[in-house]
Amino acid sequence: MHQLYINTIGCQMNVYDSDQIERALTPSGYSRTDQLEDADLVIVNTCAIRSKAEQKAFSFVGRLAKLKRRNPDLLVGVGGCVAQQEGEKILARAPHVDLVFGPKAIPRLGRLVERVRLQGLRVVDTEDTDGFEELDLASGFRDDGQVARFVTIMQGCDNFCTYCVVPYVRGRETSRHPDRILEEIRMLVAGGVREVTLLGQNVNSYGLKEDLGSFAELLARVDRVEGLARIRFTTSHPKDLSDDLIDAFARVCKLCPHIHLPVQSGADRVLKRMNRQYTRADYLERIGRLRRARPDIAITSDFIVGFPGETEADFEQTLGLIEAVGFDGVFAFMYSDRSVAPAAQFKGKVEDALKKERLQRLLRHQEVFTLRASKGLIGSFQDVLVEGFSARPGLAGDHAGARQWSGRTPGNKIVNFDQDTDCAGSQNVHPGLLIGVRIEKAFTHSLWGRPVWVEEKPGGSKGDTCHAA
Ligand code: SF4
């Protein structure tokens, strides 16, 4: 066996793609290692969405030169969005890199690595092929104990937001056939996975171009997969949020009540320059519809601060939107120029110091709402899918120092609970079980509770109730 080390930078798409890279190389005798020094092949799966992610990728690639000097047989590959964007230039910039490949070349990776290994060639494959190329599922997936996995349902994007590189590096939107998606989910479930997150840049337009059925129809089919406990998805574009999808939150049993709906800015001027194709009022109207369909829905979002031309008044409108929605959580980033994206040419660039200051203000402003959403759950009973042990022991009170299990609520909030409790069945807790937890404490980024029932076996009935509801 050869050892494969993958460094994944960026979003969930890349996490999924790294699993696909591993799967593509399994038939060539590669198995994944967590030890960089043991690797025969190192792949950096890069992200081009922000300049920081790109710098991180090149800095890691640079460090590999030393490793290759010590081990001349080591092969170095660069994949992902930066590879797609830069292609041959990476070979010139980093002479120790053997292989550069874009996201669409993953199904061809076995052959590409063989050419490098056996023929000693330096290879670039950034071809933007049409359609969704499938990997053979026969090589299965590495069972690393994860009970929640990503499943890609589409690639690329047709929206052309002015700050974004995705349409240029991941190509036009292409949907995957629903039968292949279901086949992959069934395989994951057979291996112990209980939650899947369906991935696409804009899941609302799933299947429309290819006439494969709508995203809501796909959700209904995934809902019927036996043994699967939960469905999530990301990402949904506010302009395309359909009534069907909103209804799905009320109808599809396994669909978790959480939506990540990136708004980016609360100012119409900025939204227009970003080419987001909705207004602040449109966004708020959709939030209202979602909450009417599913009153307990958790809503999270993305923001970009310091977009070219963003004024103080624009930024204050963003803070106002945060207040108006009361998000459960947000991700916020400072705008950075991406050379292939149109906004790189826009006038009115915002100074870095001001961007930093706005980012801090936005995060401080949001913290109040994140904590409010968490505190609102105190006293409630939540179904928690156990994912593993918490990285940190209990913080305070009667559970200080205790080893804790960690999992997520349907609304995607992290819940920790002590390993040793008096709840019947809690001695047999393991990742993949659903536990009923009474929430007793709320922190900004997690909750703490006591188990009240433990599922007897995955997919089985609720076990004993040891605390009165
Ligand atoms: S919707 Fe906009 S931000 Fe999202 S991937 Fe497409 S172009 Fe990028």
Contact 214, 244 (CB under 8 A): yes
As a whole number of angstroms, the distance between CA 87 and CA 84 comes to: 6
> How many other CB atoms sit within 10 Å of the CB of residue 103?
24
pLDDT at residue 18 in the model = 94
As a whole number of angstroms, the distance between CA 155 and CA 16 comes to: 12
Per-residue CA distances from 328 to 61, 259, 422, 437 (Å): 36, 10, 31, 20
pLDDT at residue 319 in the model = 98
From the CA of 269, how far away is ligand 1's center (Å)? Answer: 18
- Which residue, by CA, sits nearest to atom 2 of ligand 1? 161
pLDDT at residue 459 in the model = 54
If one looks up domain 2-125 in CATH, what number appears?
3.40.50.12160
pLDDT at residue 458 in the model = 62
Q: Which of 237, 260, 272, 336 to mutate to test the pocket of ligand 1 (most atoms within 8 A of CB)?
A: 237
Q: Which of 49, 157, 260, 261 to mutate to test the pocket of ligand 1 (most atoms within 8 A of CB)?
A: 157
- Which residue, by CA, sits nearest to atom 4 of ligand 1? 201
Closest CA to 243 of 293, 295, 301, 178: 293
As a whole number of angstroms, the distance between CA 82 and CA 281 comes to: 35
Domain with CATH 3.80.30.20 in the chain: 137-372
Per-residue CA distances from 40 to 71, 103, 158, 270 (Å): 9, 21, 38, 47
User: Which residues of the chain are modeled with pLDDT < 70?
Assistant: 137-140, 393-402, 424-425, 456-469
- Residues 126-163 as b/e (b if ≥16 CB within 10 A, e otherwise) read beeeeebeebeeeeebeeeebbbbbbbbbbbbebebbb
Per-residue CA distances from 167 to 128, 155, 393 (Å): 11, 10, 43
According to DSSP, residue 96 is labeled T
Domain with CATH 3.40.50.12160 in the chain: 2-125
Q: Which 3 state secondary structure label does DSSP give 350?
A: coil
231: left (phi over 0), alpha (psi -120 to 50) or beta: beta
Domain with CATH 2.40.50 in the chain: 381-454
If one looks up domain 137-372 in CATH, what number appears?
3.80.30.20
pTM: 0.89
pLDDT at residue 367 in the model = 96
If one looks up domain 381-454 in CATH, what number appears?
2.40.50
pLDDT at residue 469 in the model = 31
